[in-house]
Amino acid sequence: MPQIDAERFLKDLNELRQIGRYKTGVHRPTYSPEDMESRRWLMERMAEIGLEPSIDGIGNVYGRHRGPGPHLLAGSHIESQNQAGWLDGALGVMAALALARAGLPVDVAAFADEEGHFEGGFLGSKSIIGALPEEEIDRSRSRNDGTPLREALAAAGLAGKPRMQLEPGRHKGFFEMHIEQGTQLERAGLRAGVVTGIVAIWQWRITIEGMQDHAGGTTMAERRDAGLTAVRLLAMIDQEMPKACGERSTWTTGRIAVEPGAPSIIPGRADILFQFRDIEVATLDRMEACLRACVQESNRRERCTATLANVSKSLPAPCDTAMMAALDAAAERNAPGLWQRMPSGAGHDAQYIARVMPVSMLFTPSIGGISHHWAEDTKEEDLALCCQILADAAEQFLKG
């Protein structure tokens, strides 16, 4: 079994944490000076290990293994959300480095803008599989300040550089280690999570049109209260969705807003952002049918019209069976009884890489489930343990 240099792995993580440091976390928005500094730092680390480092026209940093195959791909991203945690994507990239350092035939990748500082998001993993057309780069702007992506690439010194593509057939699979963005492992007292797949997110906007009126002068019988229709519709969805969903499905109303929102005015309009997530398309289809039936029933009953619009539908990315089996075995060997299988509710680079090769993910526990916040953290012994599990699984999967 390969032996991870846990001390060096934690030292790498802590060195990278100094670049764009913010409290106990980091602030490294994509293509910022701090982000570019971290990419140069990463290429130096790759070169030290003997990998062949490069950076491409979208900012992907790639460390190519110089030896013979079969190869694995491992990594994640190193830019951060604004004022966010030190682990997140950085953890997956440093773990990949640790695997290469331990002698495994691993190409290490840090994909640009998984965090979506620019419209579209996942720029690097989309680009490297050929799913990021030039027109999307032309159109995209910073969500922070509106800077066109082209301008940001030029300012970062990346304009005109070619964009690399994954070499077909080179990799047997992709491993991504990540901190759990939740508390399932912590609550269950577990130290590792073998990810079964990355859920798809289907996002919706529901708009309800009523009639804005004076709350004193308008009788209950006369009203067309868009807020009340929203409440009844959302209560119906709350009742019906459990009949359609799967065991691990989630659904969330992230936004409810009524206009104008004043105490004595009957709302004339309501705006709802709704989404559901699952790993099975059949389940997602059932949930969509349930949502559509609720909206239809609302429009049959109510005096305000609800309009349902799909905002986006991502594809679920199931993890590879053989890779999961290798992770299961490695987890059981290193942490007997202290791991579980679980889906990833959040999106990751692996979901795009899954379109071109088998993928798998390993979750470390998150202290208090804090994510996308500078206080994000995992115990050092859990980080080291999971990195060793990843290395063992990688070796076993290569042999299998």
Q: Residue 44: which of 71, 15, 74, 73 has the closest Cα?
A: 15
* CB of 187 or CB of 379, closer to a copy of itself: 187
Answer yes or no whether residue 199 interacts with a copy of itself by CB under 8 A.
yes
Please, which residue, 17 or 277, has the CB nearer to a copy of itself?
Answer: 277
How many residues bind a copy of itself (CB under 8 A)? The answer is 56
DSSP structural state of residue 161: P
**Count of C-beta atoms within a 10 Å radius of residue 48:** 11
Smallest gap from residue 99 Cβ to a copy of itself (A)? 25
Give residues 337-396 in contact with a copy of itself (rule: CB under 8 A).
344-347, 369, 371-372
- Cα separation, 202 vs 197, in Å, equals 16
Cβ(208)–Cβ(306) below 8 Å: yes
Q: For the CB of residue 162, give the shortest distance to a copy of itself in the complex, in Å.
A: 34
DSSP letters spanning 200-265? EEEEEEEEEE---EETTTS-TTT---HHHHHHHHHHHHHHHHHHH--TT-EEEEEEEEEES--TTE
Give the shortest CB-257-to-a copy of itself separation in angstroms.
7
Closest distance between a copy of itself and the C-beta of residue 331, in Å? 19
Q: Which is nearer to a copy of itself, 191 or 232 (CB)?
A: 232
Binding of a copy of itself by 210 (CB under 8 A): no
User: Per rule CB under 8 A, is residue 248 in the interface with a copy of itself?
Assistant: yes
- As measured in angstroms, the least distance from the Cβ of 261 to a copy of itself is 5
* Coil, helix or strand at residue 18: coil
Bridge partners (DSSP) of residue 312 are: 203
Peptide bond into 70 cis (omega under 30): yes
Answer yes or no: is 372 a known binding residue.
Answer: yes
335's CB contacts (< 8 A; 6+ apart) are 191, 192, 385, 389
Q: Tell me whether residue 27 is annotated as binding.
A: no
Which one-letter amino acid corresponds to residue 129?
I
Single residue of 34, 79, 107, 225 touching a copy of itself by CB under 8 A: 225
Q: From the list 89, 227, 318, 358, which residue makes contact with a copy of itself (rule: CB under 8 A)?
A: 227
115 is in an annotated binding site: yes
Distance CA 306, CA 238 (A): 16
By the rule CB under 8 A, 181 interacts with a copy of itself: yes
Copy the structure tokens of residue 300: 């049959």
| Binds a copy of itself (CB under 8 A): choice among 249, 283, 378, 396 | 249
CB-wise, 129 or 346, nearer to a copy of itself? 346
**Hey, CA dihedral for 337, 338, 342, 347, is it positive or negative?**
negative
- The answer to the question of residue 220 lying near a copy of itself (CB under 8 A) is yes
Q: What are phi and psi of 120, to 5 degrees?
A: 105, -55
- Can you tell me which of 154, 262, 281, 289 binds a copy of itself, judged by CB under 8 A? 262
Which residues inside 121-180 make contact with a copy of itself, applying CB under 8 A? 180
Q: Does residue 266 bind a copy of itself (CB under 8 A)?
A: yes
275 binds a copy of itself (CB under 8 A): yes
Q: Is 252 in the site for a copy of itself (CB under 8 A)?
A: yes
Contact 238, 291 (CB under 8 A): no
Shortest gap between Cβ of 101 and a copy of itself (angstroms)? 30
The pair of three-digit structure tokens given for residue 375, joined into one six-digit string? 């206080």
Q: Which of 136, 213, 297, 328 binds a copy of itself (CB under 8 A)?
A: 213
Question: Are residues 176 and 73 in contact, defined by beta-carbon separation less than 8 angstroms?
Answer: no
> Are the beta carbons of 192 and 386 closer than 8 angstroms?
yes
How many angstroms separate the CA atoms of 255 and 121, rounded? 21
Strand partners, 256: 272
**Closer residue to a copy of itself (CB): 12 or 225:** 225
**Secondary structure (DSSP) of 167-186:** PTTSEEEEEEEEE-SSSHHH
Q: Which of 188, 23, 2 is nearest to 95 (CA)?
A: 2
Residue in 151, 167, 238, 380 binding a copy of itself, rule: CB under 8 A: 238
Binding residues for Zn(2+): 77, 88, 115, 178, 372
**Residues at the interface with a copy of itself (CB under 8 A):** 180-184, 187, 199, 201, 203, 213-220, 222, 225, 227-228, 230-232, 234-235, 238, 248-258, 261-267, 273, 275, 277, 311, 344-347, 369, 371-372
